[in-house]
């Protein structure tokens, strides 16, 4: 188990290195560049050239890359050119990442807490109106673009529910401890602040949660249907175990195997949704920075954020595999 984890982490290092090169080259292949993005129509050829020289973009690409790599090893990932010009990319990340993490965690919790029980109940009542309705609903959940849904939630539902329509207000923010506003509020026992932070999270998280919810729901339903027909569930019933015990110990535990994988994949895919959701709700997270970064061709910011997204993805997958082994002894004891 430990050796396996270490091997996977070394793999991760290789992936990061190769990816950094790809991202680096790929960004510079995009039409336009930071200079034109910053100067806009007012820029002359001379002013653009001067700015490119100042940003070091006039040098051959591999020299740029090795300089970047050398600085990166010392923990310096450059300064933003467009999103928050002049700020260190690392600072921007540290500032914004907790917001996105908080949003994503809340979204995935929503998706899991609603998706798994609903999937179970739908499987138990296969073929009833409840089942058909929730399967239909989940289809819509996957089909509706996140951007549109976020927009509807913001413009239509926010005022009706009395929820804030722009994200993450600092107005009555709690004393900063971790940078996660809800958690900070709870730690410092500033309940109002925690509640306020939670309210600001709710709509963006709901928008972000729809697709993971729909997928988790459907996989849970399918897995429970499969497992309910298994011989060992019949054995459990033949023992006369109570229905809740059969459900918890025999059905759900086995059905969770595919669901765990799905949750992992969905967490990995969450950043894509976060970019859109954060933009609609003006939620100051890394998703918003990523969107801005593309508009303004902010190479350092983009490089950092794309790399982090990749690392998160690989690490989540590793965690999925490890939790898989935790649930399934056939893998653990192999």
Partner 1 sequence: MALLEVRDLTVEFHRKGEEPFTAVDRVSFDVEPGQTVGLVGESGCGKSVTSLAIMGLLPKRGAKVSGTVNFEGTDLLTLSDKQLRDKRGRDLGMVFQDPLSSLNPVIPIGLQVTEVLERHQGLSRKKAMVEAADLLDKVGIPDPTRRLSEYPHQLSGGMRQRALIAIALACKPRLLIADEPTTALDVTIQAQILALLKGLVQDLGTALVMITHDLGVVAGLCDEVNVLYGGRVVEKAQRHELFAEPRHPYTHGLLASIPRLDAPRGERLNPIRGSVADNIPWDHACAFAPRCPNALDLCREQTPVQEDLGGGRLLRCHNPVQPEVPQEVSA
Task: Summarize as ranges the residues that interact with partner 1 (CB under 8 A).
Answer: 230-232, 234-243, 245, 249-250, 253-254, 257, 327-330, 333
Rounded CA separation 115/86 (Å): 43
Residue 88 pairs in a beta bridge with 79
**Nearest CB to partner 1, comparing residues 187 and 241:** 241
Question: CB of residue 332 vs partner 1: minimum separation in angstroms?
Answer: 9
Angle between helices 129-143 and 89-124 (to 10 degrees): 160
- Residues with Cβ < 8 Å from 77, sequence gap 6 or more? 71, 88, 89, 90, 300, 303, 304
Chain length of the chain:
334
- If DSSP codes are grouped into helix, strand and coil, which group holds residue 253? helix
Question: CB of residue 13 vs partner 1: minimum separation in angstroms?
Answer: 33
**Nearest CB to partner 1, comparing residues 12 and 241:** 241
**Nearest CB to partner 1, comparing residues 42 and 330:** 330
Rounded CA separation 128/132 (Å): 6
Question: CB of residue 316 vs partner 1: minimum separation in angstroms?
Answer: 22
**Nearest CB to partner 1, comparing residues 72 and 331:** 331
Question: CB of residue 281 vs partner 1: minimum separation in angstroms?
Answer: 41
Q: Are 200 and 182 in contact (CB under 8 A)?
A: no
**Nearest CB to partner 1, comparing residues 2 and 243:** 243
- Residues with Cβ < 8 Å from 138, sequence gap 6 or more? 213, 214, 217, 218
Question: CB of residue 324 vs partner 1: minimum separation in angstroms?
Answer: 11
* End-to-end CA gap in the chain: 11
Question: CB of residue 236 vs partner 1: minimum separation in angstroms?
Answer: 7
**Nearest CB to partner 1, comparing residues 169 and 261:** 261
Rounded CA separation 14/88 (Å): 25
Rounded CA separation 60/67 (Å): 11
**Nearest CB to partner 1, comparing residues 121 and 327:** 327
Question: CB of residue 229 vs partner 1: minimum separation in angstroms?
Answer: 9
Q: Are 135 and 215 in contact (CB under 8 A)?
A: no
């Amino acid at each position: 188990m430990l050796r396996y984890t270490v091997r996977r982490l070394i793999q991760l290092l290789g992936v990061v290195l190769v990816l950094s090169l790809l991202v680096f080259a790929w960004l510079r292949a995009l039409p336009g560049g930071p200079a034109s993005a910053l100067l806009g129509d007012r820029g002359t050829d001379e002013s653009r050239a001067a700015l490119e020289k100042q940003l070091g973009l006039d040098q051959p690409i591999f020299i740029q890359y090795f300089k970047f790599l050398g600085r990166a090893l010392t923990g310096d990932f450059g300064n933003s050119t467009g999103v928050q010009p002049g700020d260190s990319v690392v600072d921007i990340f540290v500032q914004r990442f907790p917001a996105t993490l908080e949003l994503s965690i809340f979204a995935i919790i929503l998706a899991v807490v609603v998706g798994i029980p609903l999937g179970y109940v739908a499987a138990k009542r296969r073929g009833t109106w409840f089942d058909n309705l929730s399967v239909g609903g989940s289809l819509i959940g996957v089909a509706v673009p996140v951007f549109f849904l976020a927009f509807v939630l913001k413009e239509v539902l926010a005022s009706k529910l009395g929820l804030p329509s722009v994200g993450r207000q600092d107005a009555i923010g709690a004393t900063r401890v971790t940078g996660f506003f809800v958690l900070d509020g709870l730690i410092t026992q500033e309940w109002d602040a925690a509640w306020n932070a939670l309210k600001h999270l709710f709509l963006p998280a709901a928008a972000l949660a729809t697709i993971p919810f729909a997928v988790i729901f459907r996989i849970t339903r399918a897995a429970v249907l499969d497992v309910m027909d298994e011989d060992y569930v019949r054995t459990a019933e033949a023992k006369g175990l109570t229905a809740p015990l059969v459900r918890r110990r025999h059905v759900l535990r086995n059905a969770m195997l595919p669901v765990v994988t799905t949750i992992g994949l969905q967490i990995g895919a969450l950043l894509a949704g976060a970019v859109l959701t954060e933009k609609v709700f003006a939620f100051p997270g890394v998703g918003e920075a990523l969107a801005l970064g593309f508009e303004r061709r902010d190479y350092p910011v983009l490089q950092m954020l794309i790399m982090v997204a990749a690392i998160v993805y690989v690490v989540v997958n590793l965690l999925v595999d490890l939790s898989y082994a935790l649930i399934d002894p056939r893998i653990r004891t192999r």
